[in-house]
Amino acid sequence: MIDNEKINEYISKFLEESAGKPSELYDPLKYTIDSGGKKIRPMLAYMAADLFGSDLQHIHPIAASLELFHNFTLIHDDIMDKSPLRRNKPTVHIKWNENIAILSGDAMMIIAYKALEKLPPHILAQVLPVFNQTALEVCEGQQYDMNFENLPSVSIPEYIHMIKLKTSVLIAACLKMGAIAAGASQSDADNLYEFGVNLGIAFQLRDDYLDAFGDEKVFGKKTGNDIVTNKKTYLLIKALELAKDHDANELHSCLNKQTINAEVKIETVKSIFKKLNIDVLTENEIDKYYNISTEAIQKLNVPTEKLLPLRKLAEDLMNRKS
């Protein structure tokens, strides 16, 4: 199995080859790619390919393309969300400026497509539609996310749809594109996509859960940030749906107060969450999507022992505490 260092090396080398002048356009790309990240998406493409073959030459460009696309979304999302920091470093629009962030994000997306040039025509023709559809859906997810901020209420199905588009479809596309490039059958590729979409939803719900109920020592950062910012997470949407009478009043009062101590707000909202059983309900929902995902890989037409790395990854993501 390929390691993180090799992945980084390939992507950095490809970016170096593709980048020209002026430096104002290309420096932010190198800065973003060099700033780390877990490289989960390329890793998934390699893992999927490993199920069907061992020749990595077609997987490298796909893995690079997906990671470059993911980084393009980070640059543009950070402008839209006005985020000052990413991976503990200033975001591109802060370190340079908004125009440079828009344009270098555009260039990052083009370079993501450029990586696909390295594929043989028959593989290119199969993966390009998956890539395009996914890329559009990721934009849709970001637009829904922005819309939700201005809506008085959002339903659970609407929320699940948004996180599916914004996060899960790219995870799923990594697996599917890796599989296609390794010569998988259509049904195996589709089942891996199913696995990825549902694992992605479970992953995002786990994120929501940890922000409220994570152990700060293990979580590595302060919990409760979503609560302080009134972020419409699965937890808050579910709580607003279930809260009645006194709980509902207290919850709405917490959300609407302009001047409330952050610690008090976190404690109050968390105690309402607990009272309404939101922690258990969220864990149940996570389990639901996790189970759908593991069912999907059982349908794969590959020897059971080959599935171990994917199963382990799914378990690790589910049991993660940070």
Contact residues: its own copies, CB under 8 A: 18, 20-22, 24-25, 76, 79-80, 99-100, 102-103, 105-107, 109-111, 113-114, 116-117, 120-122, 124-125, 128-129, 132-133, 135-136, 139-140, 142-144, 146-147
Rounded Cα gap, residues 26 and 67, in angstroms: 16
Complex with its own copies: residue 80 or 264, whichever CB lies closer: 80
Sequence-ordered list of residues with C-beta below 8 angstroms from that of 156, at least 6 positions apart, any chain:
234, 237, 238, 241
Contact 236, 226 (CB under 8 A): yes
Complex with its own copies: residue 131 or 195, whichever CB lies closer: 131
Complex with its own copies: residue 69 or 195, whichever CB lies closer: 69
Min CB(147)–its own copies separation in Å: 6
Contact 98, 79 (CB under 8 A): yes
Complex with its own copies: residue 133 or 155, whichever CB lies closer: 133
Min CB(138)–its own copies separation in Å: 9
Rounded Cα gap, residues 228 and 223, in angstroms: 10
Contact 47, 313 (CB under 8 A): yes
- Return left, alpha or beta for 155; rule: phi > 0 is left, psi -120 to 50 is alpha, else beta: beta
* Neighbour tally for 88: CB within 10 Å: 7
From residue 26, alpha-carbon distances to 91, 234, 303, 309 in Å are 15, 38, 44, 36
Contact 171, 199 (CB under 8 A): yes
Rounded Cα gap, residues 261 and 86, in angstroms: 26
Rounded Cα gap, residues 160 and 144, in angstroms: 11
Complex with its own copies: residue 129 or 303, whichever CB lies closer: 129
Min CB(100)–its own copies separation in Å: 8
Min CB(12)–its own copies separation in Å: 18
Rounded Cα gap, residues 311 and 275, in angstroms: 34
Rounded Cα gap, residues 159 and 162, in angstroms: 5
Complex with its own copies: residue 139 or 281, whichever CB lies closer: 139
Contact 233, 211 (CB under 8 A): yes
Min CB(189)–its own copies separation in Å: 17
Complex with its own copies: residue 39 or 166, whichever CB lies closer: 166
Tell how far CA 210 is from the center of its chain: 15
Min CB(163)–its own copies separation in Å: 15
Complex with its own copies: residue 102 or 292, whichever CB lies closer: 102
* Neighbour tally for 253: CB within 10 Å: 11
Min CB(130)–its own copies separation in Å: 10
Complex with its own copies: residue 128 or 281, whichever CB lies closer: 128
Min CB(164)–its own copies separation in Å: 13
Min CB(292)–its own copies separation in Å: 23
